[in-house]
Amino acid sequence: MVLMKLLAVPVVILVLLAGFLTTNPTVAGFFDQMKDKFFSFAKIEPPVGRSIEFSVSLGRHNPITFDRSVPMNITIRGKASVLLQNGRIDADDGVKLVDYRGYGSVSDTLTLNGTYESLESSGLTLGRGKAWVWSDFSSLEITNLRIKIINTTDVAGSLTLKNSSTQFYGSIEIFEPLGTFDFNGTGLAIRGTTQKISIPSIGINIG
Protein backbone atom coordinates (compact mmCIF):
# COMPACT_ATOMS: atom_id res chain seq x y z
CA MET A 1 0.00 0.00 0.00
CA VAL A 2 2.87 2.33 0.87
CA LEU A 3 4.54 1.45 -2.47
CA MET A 4 1.40 2.34 -4.40
CA LYS A 5 1.25 5.74 -2.66
CA LEU A 6 4.91 6.37 -3.43
CA LEU A 7 4.32 5.59 -7.12
CA ALA A 8 1.17 7.72 -7.27
CA VAL A 9 2.93 10.87 -6.03
CA PRO A 10 5.36 11.28 -8.99
CA VAL A 11 2.60 10.42 -11.44
CA VAL A 12 0.39 13.22 -10.08
CA ILE A 13 3.34 15.62 -10.16
CA LEU A 14 4.06 14.74 -13.82
CA VAL A 15 0.40 15.28 -14.77
CA LEU A 16 0.33 18.68 -13.08
CA LEU A 17 3.66 19.65 -14.66
CA ALA A 18 2.45 18.63 -18.14
CA GLY A 19 -0.70 20.68 -17.67
CA PHE A 20 1.33 23.72 -16.65
CA LEU A 21 3.75 23.38 -19.56
CA THR A 22 1.03 23.07 -22.18
CA THR A 23 -1.09 25.92 -20.79
CA ASN A 24 1.78 28.35 -20.16
CA PRO A 25 1.97 30.40 -23.41
CA THR A 26 5.74 30.87 -23.32
CA VAL A 27 6.56 27.26 -22.58
CA ALA A 28 3.89 25.90 -24.92
CA GLY A 29 5.22 28.10 -27.72
CA PHE A 30 8.71 26.79 -27.13
CA PHE A 31 7.52 23.20 -27.42
CA ASP A 32 5.55 24.02 -30.58
CA GLN A 33 8.68 25.49 -32.16
CA MET A 34 10.73 22.45 -31.18
CA LYS A 35 8.02 20.16 -32.58
CA ASP A 36 8.02 22.05 -35.88
CA LYS A 37 11.80 21.96 -36.10
CA PHE A 38 11.93 18.27 -35.31
CA PHE A 39 9.36 17.32 -37.91
CA SER A 40 10.96 19.63 -40.48
CA PHE A 41 14.22 17.75 -39.99
CA ALA A 42 12.51 14.37 -40.00
CA LYS A 43 10.33 15.08 -43.05
CA ILE A 44 11.54 13.60 -46.34
CA GLU A 45 10.59 15.70 -49.35
CA PRO A 46 9.29 13.70 -52.32
CA PRO A 47 11.45 13.92 -55.45
CA VAL A 48 10.43 16.61 -57.93
CA GLY A 49 9.77 15.05 -61.31
CA ARG A 50 10.25 17.36 -64.25
CA SER A 51 9.70 16.02 -67.75
CA ILE A 52 9.41 18.92 -70.17
CA GLU A 53 8.81 17.61 -73.67
CA PHE A 54 10.54 19.77 -76.23
CA SER A 55 12.36 19.96 -79.52
CA VAL A 56 15.01 22.47 -80.44
CA SER A 57 17.07 23.27 -83.50
CA LEU A 58 20.32 25.19 -83.07
CA GLY A 59 22.55 26.74 -85.71
CA ARG A 60 25.63 25.58 -83.84
CA HIS A 61 26.66 23.83 -80.63
CA ASN A 62 29.59 23.59 -78.29
CA PRO A 63 31.56 20.31 -78.08
CA ILE A 64 29.53 17.60 -76.38
CA THR A 65 30.98 14.72 -74.39
CA PHE A 66 29.32 11.78 -72.66
CA ASP A 67 30.21 8.53 -70.93
CA ARG A 68 27.19 6.31 -70.38
CA SER A 69 26.44 2.73 -69.39
CA VAL A 70 22.89 3.04 -70.75
CA PRO A 71 22.60 1.66 -74.31
CA MET A 72 22.39 4.13 -77.19
CA ASN A 73 21.99 3.68 -80.92
CA ILE A 74 24.41 5.67 -83.06
CA THR A 75 24.07 6.16 -86.81
CA ILE A 76 27.02 7.77 -88.59
CA ARG A 77 26.61 8.99 -92.16
CA GLY A 78 29.79 9.72 -94.05
CA LYS A 79 33.34 8.47 -93.72
CA ALA A 80 34.27 6.60 -90.54
CA SER A 81 37.21 4.55 -89.28
CA VAL A 82 36.51 1.73 -86.83
CA LEU A 83 39.35 0.06 -84.96
CA LEU A 84 38.28 -3.34 -83.63
CA GLN A 85 40.01 -5.82 -81.36
CA ASN A 86 41.00 -7.94 -84.36
CA GLY A 87 40.90 -5.60 -87.33
CA ARG A 88 39.87 -2.29 -88.84
CA ILE A 89 37.01 -1.00 -90.98
CA ASP A 90 37.25 2.12 -93.15
CA ALA A 91 33.75 2.96 -94.29
CA ASP A 92 32.75 5.56 -96.87
CA ASP A 93 29.00 5.22 -96.40
CA GLY A 94 28.71 5.23 -92.62
CA VAL A 95 28.44 2.95 -89.62
CA LYS A 96 25.60 2.01 -87.28
CA LEU A 97 26.22 0.88 -83.70
CA VAL A 98 23.36 -0.76 -81.80
CA ASP A 99 23.25 -0.62 -77.98
CA TYR A 100 26.50 1.31 -77.73
CA ARG A 101 27.84 2.00 -74.24
CA GLY A 102 30.86 4.10 -73.43
CA TYR A 103 32.61 7.38 -74.10
CA GLY A 104 31.79 9.83 -76.86
CA SER A 105 32.85 13.27 -78.03
CA VAL A 106 31.10 15.30 -80.73
CA SER A 107 32.37 18.55 -82.22
CA ASP A 108 33.00 18.82 -85.95
CA THR A 109 34.26 15.23 -85.64
CA LEU A 110 33.08 12.20 -83.66
CA THR A 111 35.15 10.02 -81.36
CA LEU A 112 33.79 6.90 -79.66
CA ASN A 113 35.45 4.40 -77.35
CA GLY A 114 33.21 1.68 -75.95
CA THR A 115 31.24 -1.51 -76.53
CA TYR A 116 28.33 -2.41 -78.81
CA GLU A 117 25.87 -5.26 -79.29
CA SER A 118 26.05 -5.09 -83.08
CA LEU A 119 27.87 -3.03 -85.70
CA GLU A 120 26.69 -2.56 -89.29
CA SER A 121 28.74 -1.13 -92.15
CA SER A 122 28.78 -1.68 -95.94
CA GLY A 123 26.57 -4.75 -95.72
CA LEU A 124 28.75 -6.21 -92.95
CA THR A 125 27.22 -7.01 -89.56
CA LEU A 126 29.36 -7.81 -86.53
CA GLY A 127 28.25 -9.17 -83.17
CA ARG A 128 29.08 -7.86 -79.71
CA GLY A 129 32.50 -6.26 -79.34
CA LYS A 130 34.64 -3.26 -78.48
CA ALA A 131 35.56 -0.46 -80.86
CA TRP A 132 37.30 2.87 -81.20
CA VAL A 133 35.57 5.02 -83.82
CA TRP A 134 36.57 8.26 -85.51
CA SER A 135 34.50 10.12 -88.11
CA ASP A 136 34.26 13.52 -89.79
CA PHE A 137 30.60 12.71 -90.35
CA SER A 138 28.25 14.47 -92.72
CA SER A 139 25.40 13.76 -90.29
CA LEU A 140 25.07 11.87 -87.03
CA GLU A 141 22.12 10.58 -84.99
CA ILE A 142 22.34 9.38 -81.39
CA THR A 143 19.21 8.05 -79.67
CA ASN A 144 18.74 7.75 -75.90
CA LEU A 145 21.55 10.20 -75.22
CA ARG A 146 21.55 12.18 -71.99
CA ILE A 147 24.04 14.91 -71.21
CA LYS A 148 24.39 17.29 -68.27
CA ILE A 149 23.76 20.59 -70.03
CA ILE A 150 23.52 22.36 -73.38
CA ASN A 151 24.93 25.85 -72.87
CA THR A 152 25.38 27.91 -76.03
CA THR A 153 25.59 31.67 -76.53
CA ASP A 154 24.99 33.86 -79.60
CA VAL A 155 23.08 31.16 -81.42
CA ALA A 156 20.05 31.25 -83.71
CA GLY A 157 17.48 28.56 -83.12
CA SER A 158 13.92 27.37 -82.91
CA LEU A 159 12.24 25.91 -79.81
CA THR A 160 9.01 23.90 -79.88
CA LEU A 161 6.93 23.34 -76.73
CA LYS A 162 3.44 21.82 -76.90
CA ASN A 163 3.19 22.32 -80.66
CA SER A 164 4.10 26.00 -80.36
CA SER A 165 7.36 27.05 -82.05
CA THR A 166 9.42 30.14 -81.23
CA GLN A 167 12.39 31.55 -83.12
CA PHE A 168 15.17 33.09 -81.05
CA TYR A 169 18.69 34.45 -81.08
CA GLY A 170 20.88 34.61 -77.99
CA SER A 171 21.91 32.20 -75.26
CA ILE A 172 20.19 28.93 -74.37
CA GLU A 173 20.60 26.50 -71.48
CA ILE A 174 18.99 23.05 -71.48
CA PHE A 175 19.52 21.02 -68.31
CA GLU A 176 19.72 17.21 -68.42
CA PRO A 177 18.31 16.77 -71.93
CA LEU A 178 17.47 13.16 -72.84
CA GLY A 179 16.39 12.01 -76.27
CA THR A 180 17.48 11.91 -79.91
CA PHE A 181 20.34 14.19 -80.94
CA ASP A 182 20.77 14.95 -84.65
CA PHE A 183 24.06 16.56 -85.66
CA ASN A 184 24.29 18.00 -89.16
CA GLY A 185 27.42 19.97 -89.95
CA THR A 186 27.69 22.58 -87.21
CA GLY A 187 23.97 22.42 -86.32
CA LEU A 188 22.16 20.34 -83.71
CA ALA A 189 18.53 19.27 -83.29
CA ILE A 190 17.21 17.56 -80.14
CA ARG A 191 13.87 15.83 -79.54
CA GLY A 192 13.12 14.57 -76.05
CA THR A 193 12.63 15.67 -72.46
CA THR A 194 14.50 17.97 -70.12
CA GLN A 195 14.40 19.30 -66.55
CA LYS A 196 14.79 22.98 -67.39
CA ILE A 197 15.07 25.32 -70.38
CA SER A 198 16.25 28.93 -70.20
CA ILE A 199 16.33 31.41 -73.11
CA PRO A 200 16.65 34.91 -71.56
CA SER A 201 16.32 36.81 -74.85
CA ILE A 202 12.67 35.72 -75.27
CA GLY A 203 11.83 35.42 -71.56
CA ILE A 204 11.64 31.62 -71.41
CA ASN A 205 12.61 30.06 -68.08
CA ILE A 206 10.77 26.75 -67.60
CA GLY A 207 11.47 24.16 -64.90
One-letter amino acid of 63: P
With a CB cutoff of 8 Å and minimum separation 6, the contacts of 56 are 157, 158, 159, 160, 172, 174, 189, 190
Q: Average per-residue pLDDT in the chain? A: 82
Q: What is the pTM of this model?
A: 0.75
Task: Name the more confident of 76 and 47.
Answer: 76
pLDDT in tens, 21-60: 445 444 445 434 443 433 333 333 344 455 899 999 999 9
What distance in Å separates the CA atoms of residue 135 and residue 138, rounded to the nearest whole number?
A: 9
CA distances from 123 to 74, 88, 127, 139, 191 (A): 17, 15, 13, 19, 29
pLDDT in tens, 166-196: 999 999 999 999 999 999 988 999 999 999 9
Q: Is the pLDDT of residue 157 over 50?
A: yes
Q: What is the mean pLDDT of residues 63-71?
A: 96
